[in-house]
Structure 1
Amino acid sequence: MTNRSLGVRRAALLASSVAMLGLLAGCGGDGTASAPPTESGTAASATGTATPSDSGTGSGVPTDAVSNSLTPSASPSPAGGTRCHTSELSASVGRNDPGAGQENFPVVLTNESSRTCTLHGYPGTAFVDASGKQLGPDPERSATEPETVKLAPGQSAWAGLSFANPEVSGAGTATPAALLVTPPDEEDPLKVTWKAGKVPVSGNESSVRLIPFSPGTGA
């Protein structure tokens, strides 16, 4: 009786072992179950932080005074929401400081508001005739690294605007009615009556150049 019971138990254990071997064989030859597949693009990274997709926020730069003030691709003002808005500023053009065949003018923005605000980068500038049509090509920006200029109420910042004297360079000229000045990252320009005579508008030496804002009036 006892021998018969032991035989039945051994048979049951053998059958169980055979079944377990079959299960392991189905999970992989090395006994390790493979990981379930995941759908491409749906899994988070190992750190639990999803990888952001391309935002697709490209920025075209139009060729007018407004666009010259906008920073392409991306170069947002580090001052963020503290930047000066067009409605808070007045614009003027300072006295010419000529030298070495160059005409050099400070383009000045003054904070007329009751709060402190900031400017970072270059103004948009364009010479225009009496009908508002732009004269000459868009200005070229220098490689100077811009700084953020903080303007308390009543304070000013200036950006340098320069071009070769047309009598020296031989460039084609026109006499603008005004200079449109657009603060950095703004869309609305300020109009300043131009009183400094002819400017280059065509030919190889017609480029107008800009340097970024610095504190003061440039006087």
Structure 2
Amino acid sequence: MVYAPRSTRHGALLVGTFAVLGLLTACGSSSHDVHSNPPLTSSGTAAPATGGAESAAPGTSAPGSASAGTGAAPSSVPQATASQGGGTTTTTAASSRCHTAQLRASVGRDDPGAGQENFPVVLTNTSGKACTLHGYPGAAFVSASGGQLGPNPKRESGSPVTVTLRPGQSAWAGLTFSNPGISGAKTATPAALLVTPPDERDSLKVSWTGGAVPVSGNSSSVFLSVLAPGTAP
């Protein structure tokens, strides 16, 4: 064992004490700097998101916005139609069909031929705006009491066209049947003919002055043709 003098041990103790005090002072100074110098911050608002006033999560719509495809008004599709003048005219398909209240019905004179009776059934636009007719009218013979005489007329083969009627213009369909005197069919004499415009439920009543019509038996069928522009063939 090495023996150190007392003065030497005292000096070493003083050196160690100063070293400890120096370390404590450095630590205290560092802790004080952290609290006295906090990180700098900048006040203000974040920049707005681009692409619109409001942003939304993917797959959702922003509040107050309409999703694509909803609430859009359907577009009107023009269609070519046959006019009374023999040419074509373009009309808009939206709500242009002629309704019963816009029309007047009449029956033209008989144009017989080859054992057939042929009557033009005419629909005239009495309204103040143009409308369209397409296809076949409906018809039924009725008695004075309103009862139907015979079956409904059958449709002749044909290619329906859309007829545009301006105010005052007409369209007609041919009502034909075999002459009962030749065919031998059973007959009745109607008081009126009910005419129903295409796609309508309400009918127009026309006084019938064409005499007896077949209602049953041989060759008793009555036929209607498609509507065409005008009042007669």
Question: Into which bin does the TM-score normalised by the smaller protein fall?
Answer: 0.5 to 0.7
Q: Is residue 124 from structure 1 mapped to residue 159 from structure 2 by the alignment?
A: no
Deviation at 1:181, TM superposition (A): 0.2
1:101 paired with 2:106, answer no
Q: 1:136 aligns with which of 139, 150, 153?
A: 150
Q: Which amino acid aligns with 1:185?
A: D
Report the counterpart of residue 153 of structure 1 in structure 2. 167
Q: Is the 8 A contact 1:104 1:163 kept in 2?
A: yes
> Residues of 2 paired with 1:79 and 1:157: CA distance?
19
Aligned-pair CA distance for 1:204: 2.4
**CA distance in 2 between partners of 1:216 and 1:167 (Å):** 30
Count of equivalent residues? 142
- How far the C-alpha of 1:205 sits from its partner, in A, is 1.0
Per-residue CA distance 1:119-140 (angstroms, 9 max, x = gap) = 0011110000011111011111
- List structure 1 segments (4+ residues) > 2 angstroms apart after TM superposition: none
Structure 2: distance between partners of 1:180 and 1:86: 12
- Matching residue's letter, 1:175: T
Residue matched to 2:47: none
Aligned residue in 2 for 1:198: 212
2:210 counterpart letter in structure 1 = A
Deviation at 1:81, TM superposition (A): 1.7
Q: 1:128 to 1:216 in 2, by over 3 A?
A: same
* 1:211 has 2:222 as partner: no
Once residues 174 and 135 of structure 2 are traced to their aligned partners in structure 1, the CA distance between those partners, rounded to angstroms, is: 12
TM-align CA RMSD: 1.2
Letter in structure 1 aligned against 2:138: G
**Sequence identity of aligned pairs in percent?**
70
Q: Could you tell me which of 173, 188, 192 is aligned with 1:174? A: 188
Is contact 1:137–1:206 with CA below 8 Å preserved after alignment? no
SS of the residue 1:90 aligns to = strand
C-alpha change, 1:158 and 1:79, in structure 2 (3 Å) is farther
Higher radius of gyration, 1 or 2: 2
Give the distance between the partners of 2:94 and 2:160, measured in 1 at CA.
Answer: 15
> What SS is found at the alignment partner of 2:215?
strand
Amino acid at match of 1:126: A
Counterparts of 2:103 and 2:188, CA distance in 1: 28
* Deviation of 1:192 (Å): 0.1
The answer on whether the counterparts of 1:111 and 1:151 sit within 8 Å (CA) in structure 2 is yes
Distance, in Å, in 2 between the alignment partners of 1:197 and 1:143 is: 26
TM-score, length of structure 2 as denominator length: 0.60
In 2: Cα distance, 1:196 partner to 1:106 partner = 11
Do the aligned residues in 2 keep the contact of 1:79 with 1:120 (CA within 8 Å)?
A: no
Cα distance between partner residues in 2 of 1:119 and 1:180: 17
Q: Give structure 1 stretches of 5+ with no counterpart.
A: 1-77
Residues in 1 aligned to 2:146 and 2:93: alpha-carbon distance in whole angstroms: 31
Check 1:80–1:134 CA distance in 2 against 1; reply closer, same or farther (3 A cut).
farther
Matches within 5 A, 1:30-109: 79=93, 81-109=95-123
